[in-house]
Amino acid sequence: MSPARRPGGARRVALMAIACLLLAMAVQGRIEARAAASAGSAPLLYLPSGRYLHFAALGFDALLADTIYLWSIQYYGNYQIADRYLYLEQIYGQVIAELDPRYLDPYLTGALIMTTEARRPEMALRLLDKGIEHNPQVWILPFEAGFICYDDLRDYQRAAAYFEAALKVPGVPPLVRRFYAEMFNRAGDKRTSLKEWDEIYRTAGDDYVRGVAWNHVHDLTIAVDLADLRAALDLYRARQGKAPRRLQDLAEAGAIGKVPQDPEGRDYLYDPRSGEISYHALPVVAR
Amino acid sequence: MPARIAAIALNTFREAIRNRVLYLLLVFAVAMISCAQVLSLMTVGSEEKIIKDFGLASIDIFGVLTSVFIGIGLVSREIERRTVYTLLAKPLHRFEFILGKYAGLVLTLFVNTSVMTLWFFLILALKGMFDLRLAIAVLLLFFQFLLITALAVLFSCLSTPILSGVLTLALYVVGHLLWSFDLLQAKLTSVTGRVACRALYYLLPNLGNFDVKGDVVHGLPVGAGTVGFAALYLAFYGAAVLLLACAVFQGRELQ
Amino acid sequence: MAVLELSGISKSYRTHLSLRRYWILRDLSLAIQPGEIFGFIGTNGAGKTTTIKLALGLLFPDTGSVRLFGEDARRVELRRRIGFLPENPYLYDYLTGGEFLDFHARLFGYSAPERRRRVADLLERVGLKNRGDRQLRLYSKGMLQRIGLAQALINDPELVILDEPMSGLDPIGRREVRDIILDLKARGRTVFFSTHILSDTEMICDRVGILVRGSLKAVGRIDDLVTRDVRFWEVALGGVRDAALPCGLVVSRRDDQVLVRVESQGDLRRLIQSLNGHGTTLISVSPGRQSLEDLFLREVRSADGTAGVKAAAAAGKD
């Protein structure tokens, strides 16, 4: 007599369950294939503004912001989705920023994606403005905005304004000031740049920075002096109808207040025949 | 056989509709759907979108809560209260009991979802925002409830109500985050990790298949294929889960 | 042919954390004959409920087999012919009595008029005729036990299995359940019930089985198990003063009345003769026989020493 065992049907039913599961997985595969075929046509995004998500987050706003941020990085890094930038501003500007306004990384990453990937620097600036508004004590946001104005838009006035905002933040690293000073140089405003670098040179806390600043001051001083001298030369020519014999003539004729010397304390070189003024270490006019 | 399943289903339905929790959830859902109008006052422009988003989200959340709250106790409570003993001493197969319990809860959910949907559509119709395509979104949400209910029944066969509630809700959340497995897989370097990731991706219930809320609200086309494949997926996955529940219950000793 | 036959059933379980096996039943064989009322007696935890669950297929035995009406008990169809009431059932308290019975009737596939007839009939039979439209949450414990019994009888079963049908009931409730069981026997049905209330068992059972710690210690007709010979006499005397009695053990004493127990007929004769001239009067002489309780206690005691006696004493209290 066989002992009474558990009902044997259970194993058969379990096997049927596994068969069904395999079929379900096959269907899932088909769904994936369909989705891949139409990838890019349907934005897989469905998120209300962070202001409403806030209600749904049940106090886990920051966590939700993290999750969406992580997702966004993966999503925007996927080059297969052609129109993935459709909701770029909503994701960063509305969803994440409003869920967790003090979360800095998404502002920076969002701005980076907007400028370098989506080529929408103005959008990036709007995002950073929002970040600055919520985080006035953070220098990196105006710094980043200034960089975008400077590097992408080449709008030095706006860049200067952002950099100055960054410089007002207590505890801003000296790097920002150097960046600010150098920006004027790149923008062609060597005089302001010199003024800033000179300031950096005089307030430098360590030898390395002092050395770097000196190099800038050195080069900028030469560039500014040469520019001054050339302007005076033009003025002299216009008044006297001829070129001066020596640079000292410029001061005597009142075309320049005082003939400057180079940072090494030497006179600048002047060739009366060609009218060329130069720094004597260099064969041609520097910069 | 169907008569016995129907008897169990009817009793389960009766239990649900005489349960205060169901009405509490319904009242909350209706209140939330109505609330969307107030919220929409706070926004500029996308009022219609917010009302629709909120309505669909409410139906989603409260449908899931109903299936979880009622589903998790379906089998375990009958065992705990020993009512299952009298039933199984009758000419009732154990799988009939499971299928009957499931069918009863499906009936409950159908009524529940219908009430929420009708209220939602009524509000939309009054505002002149009614769009029949929203019914597709609700249909797919209902598919999702069917799958979650099956999972709740399975867990209810295996463990206590609290644990099965946690497990079911966890699977609901995971089921909606499965896309992250895909991304994670791309980042993994080890082959075993990638294979495990892929296996999990296909093994876990993919609830994303039932989510077309966003598409519908944004007026994007939802093809018959999407609905068809979702139905097929539900049929197979749901059958697998229910069969597993039957197998578990078949072999279970009722201490 | 036996209605219910358990052969060589063993059942053990393991706790989740330890690998130790606990035996609930060991090599249990039992056959219930048609038309009898069988009382299954045991202390709490002796394995009565486990035996019943095994018989119904709610649990699966480690070894041995269960047969119902001569067939493998795992056949679900066989349950058309049995009725079962579990111990302390909670029942569906959101249903009315009528709905509750109707629901169970549906499981047998009866037509609507058939269900109505059976429900009305049973409500009357268990004395709940006018309570059928009340929710079970409003029922008293006795009423719940009766509606539970009605549920077990909905299919007019040939074999009725009741797990502790009398426990927790007041004397009136017990009486009602007892009458229903006797009525079933009168209708030619077989009743198998477990209990630890010995007085009820002794009164209505044709046969009993005594289960002690998972082993069946005795099975049979009560008259066969318990010797009906007179084992001792209890003599009630009045007007007893200080005078010493010639023999016997004083069981109790109130004022001048004494109850004395004597072990043999010779002692009885001597005692009665000694009464002359002392002003003592004989009130009554009653022969003492062994009761089911004595047998039960003896079995428990012999099985597991003093621990068992304590358990039995505890069981006897309720």
> 3-state secondary structure string, chain C?
CCCEEEEEEEEEEECCCCCCEEEEEEEEEEEECCCCEEEEEECCCCCHHHHHHHHHCCCCCCEEEEEECCEECCCHHHHHHEEEECCCCCCCCCCEHHHHHHHHHHCCCCCHHHHHHHHHHHHHHCCCHHHCCCEHHHCCHHHHHHHHHHHHCCCCCCEEEEECCCCCCCHHHHHHHHHHHHHHHHCCCEEEEEECCHHHHHHHCCEEEEEECCEEEEEEEHHHHCCCCCCEEEEEEECCCCCCCCCCEEEEEECCEEEEEECCHHHHHHHHHHCCCCCCEEEEEEEECCCHHHHHHHHHHHHHHHHHHHHHHHHHHC
Judging contacts by C-beta atoms under 8 Å, the chain C residues touching residue B10 are 103, 106
Instruction: Inform me whether the C-beta atom of residue B200 falls under 8 Å from chain C C-beta atoms.
Output: no
pLDDT of residue A178: 85
pLDDT band at A101 (very low <50, low <70, confident <90, very high): confident
In angstroms, the separation between the Cα of residue C262 and the nearest Cα of chain A is 53
Judging contacts by C-beta atoms under 8 Å, the chain A residues touching residue B241 are 17
pLDDT band at A45 (very low <50, low <70, confident <90, very high): very low
Judging contacts by C-beta atoms under 8 Å, the chain B residues touching residue C91 are 83
pLDDT in tens, A54-70: 666 666 677 777 777 77
Judging contacts by C-beta atoms under 8 Å, the chain A residues touching residue C74 are 4, 7
pLDDT band at A172 (very low <50, low <70, confident <90, very high): confident
CB contact under 8 A, C65 and A6: no
pLDDT of residue C150: 92
Please state the pTM of the whole predicted model: 0.69
pLDDT of residue A50: 65
pLDDT of residue C18: 67
What are the structure tokens assigned to B178, written together?
């499965």
Lowest-confidence range among A23-27, A88-92, B109-113? A88-92
Residue A78 has pLDDT above 70, yes or no: no
In angstroms, the separation between the Cα of residue A88 and the nearest Cα of chain B is 16
Distances (CA, A) of A197 to A82, A145, A189, A218, C65: 45, 22, 12, 10, 99
In angstroms, the separation between the Cα of residue C91 and the nearest Cα of chain B is 6
> Could you tell me which chains touch chain A, where touching means 3 or more CB pairs under 8 A?
B, C
pLDDT band at A5 (very low <50, low <70, confident <90, very high): very low
Q: What is the mean pLDDT of chain A?
A: 79
In angstroms, the separation between the Cα of residue B232 and the nearest Cα of chain A is 7
Rounded distance, CA A244 to CA A230, Å? 12
Rounded distance, CA B211 to CA B140, Å? 7
Instruction: Inform me whether the C-beta atom of residue C188 falls under 8 Å from chain B C-beta atoms.
Output: no
What are the structure tokens assigned to B255, written together?
């201490």
Lowest-confidence range among A275-284, B236-245, C185-194, C251-260? A275-284
- Angle between helix B47-71 and helix B134-158 axes, rounded to 10 deg: 20
pLDDT band at A79 (very low <50, low <70, confident <90, very high): low
The low-confidence residues of chain C, meaning pLDDT below 50, are: 306, 308-318
Residue B137 has pLDDT above 60, yes or no: yes
